[in-house]
């Protein structure tokens, strides 16, 4: 199935300077958004209590917030789930709280009892269904480990591409991954949603999805370079993008349909994952066409770099 003619001659490289300029501006803006506004980290990273409560009959979320405020929890975040009788209450941990198992258990019991007391002061039918507590030190460790995981993923991808293709492809891939990750995280930050562990998992998934599409295009670039007699770089890159355009669009749309279901129907636990994946998919499609290949051209990729090498040179023999 082909949405676009694989032999079409759309001159994407003609817009490479404009595309790279726009991408550079968006990266600077995205970095500024993340640095200035920051992410609204969830309890997984900041630490605190997540308490699920239910009522025998329906109650307005504003009344639940009012009861918590009256009980001294004025910064609690209240969200409905599963109907008008069930609520998830999130309370940020005290920065001075200890991270020991005993302290965590004591803090969880104390907060749970105090929340239940505050809610029952307004409605006697309030019940606590579940309660969990994450200490702030543990949250810091999770946040740092998440950042390290993203860095290691990008570094591993660059090493793989350097070995499989050539260093210019590795540099282009790393630049693309930084571009896609920055824009995706900044767009998510603008939504004001909490950045939790499912959101971090989505960022890592976006990195993997994005590089998968670029590897397909890079492989086509190498194939056409080797089979073409003249091998003009701009022409080869245009042919590569055109020949893989249908695959890029169809893969993106079908994946978006799947993760869109998680966003719209998955409930609060999966909304962030689905939203970040949706944002990252469309950014990844755009960067595969208008960013990764223009960077390759900027770095001076040529036919000679990708031709099969002579077996007489042991240094070059190791290259695929």
Q: Is residue 5 part of a domain?
A: no
Higher pLDDT, 6 or 145: 145
Residue 320 pLDDT greater than 60, yes or no: no
Task: Annotate 187-218 with b (16+ C-beta within 10 A) or e (fewer).
Answer: bbbeeebbbbebbbbbbebbbebbbebbbbbb
In tens, the pLDDT along 42-81 reads 777 777 788 889 998 888 888 888 999 888 888 787 877 7
Q: Residue 56 belongs to what domain range?
A: 48-134
3-state secondary structure of 128: strand
Predicted local distance difference test score (pLDDT) of residue 107: 63
Predicted local distance difference test score (pLDDT) of residue 182: 93
Last residue of a domain, one of 100, 134, 168: 134
Nearest alpha-carbon partner for 173 in 215, 234, 222: 215
Same domain? For 89 and 196 the reply is no
Q: Is residue 52 part of a domain?
A: yes
Asked if residue 173 lies in contact with residue 213, where contact means CB atoms within 8 angstroms, the answer is no
Same domain? For 83 and 163 the reply is no
Same domain? For 54 and 192 the reply is no
Same domain? For 26 and 121 the reply is no
Rg of the chain (C-alpha set) = 25
Same domain? For 60 and 27 the reply is no
Predicted local distance difference test score (pLDDT) of residue 3: 66
Same domain? For 201 and 66 the reply is no
Measured distance CA(70)–CA(51) in Å, rounded: 17
Asked if residue 184 lies in contact with residue 206, where contact means CB atoms within 8 angstroms, the answer is yes
Distance of CA 120 to CAs 20, 117, 296, 304, 312, Å? 58, 5, 63, 76, 83
Same domain? For 232 and 186 the reply is yes
Identify the CATH number of the domain in which residue 150 sits: 1.20.1640.10
Same domain? For 78 and 126 the reply is yes
Identify the CATH number of the domain in which residue 111 sits: 3.30.70.3220
Residue 36 pLDDT greater than 60, yes or no: yes
Q: Is residue 7 part of a domain?
A: no
Task: Record the pTM.
Answer: 0.77
Query: In which band, very low, low, confident or very high, does the pLDDT at 96 lie, cut at 50, 70 and 90?
Result: very low
Asked if residue 214 lies in contact with residue 165, where contact means CB atoms within 8 angstroms, the answer is no
Last residue of a domain, one of 134, 165, 193: 134
Q: Is residue 108 part of a domain?
A: yes
Q: Is residue 6 part of a domain?
A: no
Q: What is the mean pLDDT of the chain?
A: 82
Q: Is residue 208 part of a domain?
A: yes
Asked if residue 67 lies in contact with residue 119, where contact means CB atoms within 8 angstroms, the answer is yes
Q: H/E element holding 284?
A: helix 268-290
Query: In which band, very low, low, confident or very high, does the pLDDT at 110 lie, cut at 50, 70 and 90?
Result: confident
Same domain? For 254 and 210 the reply is yes
Residue 21 pLDDT greater than 90, yes or no: yes
Residue 122 CB-density burial (10 A; 0-12 exposed, 13-18 middle, 19+ buried):
middle
Same domain? For 22 and 82 the reply is no
Last residue of a domain, one of 99, 116, 134: 134
Predicted local distance difference test score (pLDDT) of residue 85: 83
Q: Is residue 180 part of a domain?
A: yes
In tens, the pLDDT along 296-306 reads 999 888 777 66
Mean pLDDT value of segment 148-164: 81
Mean pLDDT value of segment 185-211: 89
Measured distance CA(179)–CA(265) in Å, rounded: 29
Mean pLDDT value of segment 187-208: 88
Q: Is residue 237 part of a domain?
A: yes
Same domain? For 64 and 30 the reply is no
Domain total for the chain?
Answer: 2
Predicted local distance difference test score (pLDDT) of residue 137: 67
Residue 113 pLDDT greater than 80, yes or no: yes
Same domain? For 111 and 150 the reply is no
């Amino acid at each position: 199935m082909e949405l676009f003619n694989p032999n079409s001659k759309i001159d994407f490289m003609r817009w490479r300077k404009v595309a790279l300029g726009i991408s550079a501006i968006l990266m600077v803006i995205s970095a500024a958004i993340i640095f200035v506004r920051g992410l609204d980290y969830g309890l997984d990273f900041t630490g605190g209590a997540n308490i699920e409560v239910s009522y025998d009959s329906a109650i307005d979320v504003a009344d639940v917030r009012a009861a918590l405020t009256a009980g001294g929890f004025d910064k609690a975040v209240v969200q409905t789930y599963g109907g008008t009788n069930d609520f998830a209450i999130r309370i940020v941990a005290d920065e001075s709280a200890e991270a020991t198992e005993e302290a965590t258990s004591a803090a969880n019991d104390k907060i749970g009892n105090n929340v239940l007391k505050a809610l029952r002061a307004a409605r006697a039918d309030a019940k606590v269904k579940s309660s969990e507590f994450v200490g702030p030190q543990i949250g810091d460790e999770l946040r740092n480990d998440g950042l390290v995981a993203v860095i290691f993923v990008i570094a591993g991808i660059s090493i793989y591409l350097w070995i499989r293709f050539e260093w210019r492809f590795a540099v282009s891939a790393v630049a693309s991954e930084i571009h896609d990750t920055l824009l995706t995280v900044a767009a998510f930050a603008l939504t004001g949603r909490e950045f939790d562990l499912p959101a971090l998992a989505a960022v890592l998934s976006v990195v993997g999805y994005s590089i998968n599409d670029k590897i397909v295009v890079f492989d086509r670039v190498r194939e056409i370079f080797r089979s073409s007699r003249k091998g003009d770089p701009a022409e080869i890159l245009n042919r590569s993008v055109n020949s893989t355009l249908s695959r890029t669009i169809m893969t993106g749309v079908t994946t978006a349909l799947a993760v869109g279901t998680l966003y719209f129907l998955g409930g609060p636990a999966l909304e962030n994952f689905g939203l970040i994946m949706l944002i990252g998919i469309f950014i990844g499609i755009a960067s595969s066409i208008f960013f990764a290949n223009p960077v390759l051209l900027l770095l001076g990729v040529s036919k000679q770099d990708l031709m099969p090498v002579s077996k007489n040179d042991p240094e070059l023999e190791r290259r695929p």
